[in-house]
């Protein structure tokens, strides 16, 4: 039996199509949040933000109960006008977007942080933050 001959362009096109299909979002592995990994990742946040029973606003607002809280709502921190007037209520999705790119979500906010590129690390951080309701 003779196998069909494929031109190099056809082989390249098939390879590109297969690669594109394999990274399509609907085929990506689900991100499973790990609160313990989030605790370790929070170390980069802890220089400005506090969590726990004695948490208070310092260089940044405390993050207790962040999910479900209106942006700019704690009384122990002086927020930017941009944050106070954003009208945002922090959901998991909104917080994830903010952690990825703070200036895109709330232009003019005071947080001097360029964002986290890893969806896994963002999911882990949110899982950790949810422990402090």
Domain harbouring 83, CATH code:
1.10.760.10
16 part of a folded domain: no
- Tell me if 125 is assigned to some domain: yes
pLDDT in tens, the chain (133 residues): 565 565 554 444 444 444 444 444 444 458 899 999 999 999 999 999 999 999 999 999 999 999 999 999 999 999 999 999 999 999 999 999 999 999 999 999 999 888 999 999 999 999 999 999 8
Query: Three-state SS for 51?
Result: coil
DSSP 86: S
Position 71 in a domain:
yes
CA-based torsion, 13, 15, 20, 22: positive or negative = positive
The CA–CA distances, whole Å, from 103 to 89, 107, 108 equal 16, 5, 7
This prediction has a pTM of 0.75
Note whether residue 89 is domain-resident. yes
Of 60, 45, 31, 48, give the one whose Cα is nearest residue 129: 45
- Print the domain residue range for 62: 31-129
Task: Decide if 62 contacts 74 (C-beta within 8 A).
Answer: yes
Let me know if residue 73 belongs to a domain. Answer: yes
Distance CA 97, CA 103 (A): 10
């Amino acid at each position: 039996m003779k196998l069909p001959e494929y031109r190099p362009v056809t082989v390249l096109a098939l390879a590109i199509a297969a690669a594109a299909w394999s990274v399509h979002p609907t085929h990506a592995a689900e991100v499973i949040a790990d609160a313990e990994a989030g605790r370790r990742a929070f170390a980069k946040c802890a220089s400005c933000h506090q969590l726990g029973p004695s948490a208070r606003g310092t260089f940044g607002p405390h993050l207790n109960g962040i999910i479900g809280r209106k942006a700019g709502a704690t009384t122990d921190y002086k927020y930017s006008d941009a944050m106070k007037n954003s009208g945002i209520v922090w959901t998991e999705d909104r917080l994830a977007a903010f952690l990825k790119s703070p200036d895109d979500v709330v232009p003019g906010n005071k947080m001097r942080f360029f964002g986290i590129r890893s969806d896994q690390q963002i999911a882990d951080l949110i899982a950790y933050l949810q422990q402090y309701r």
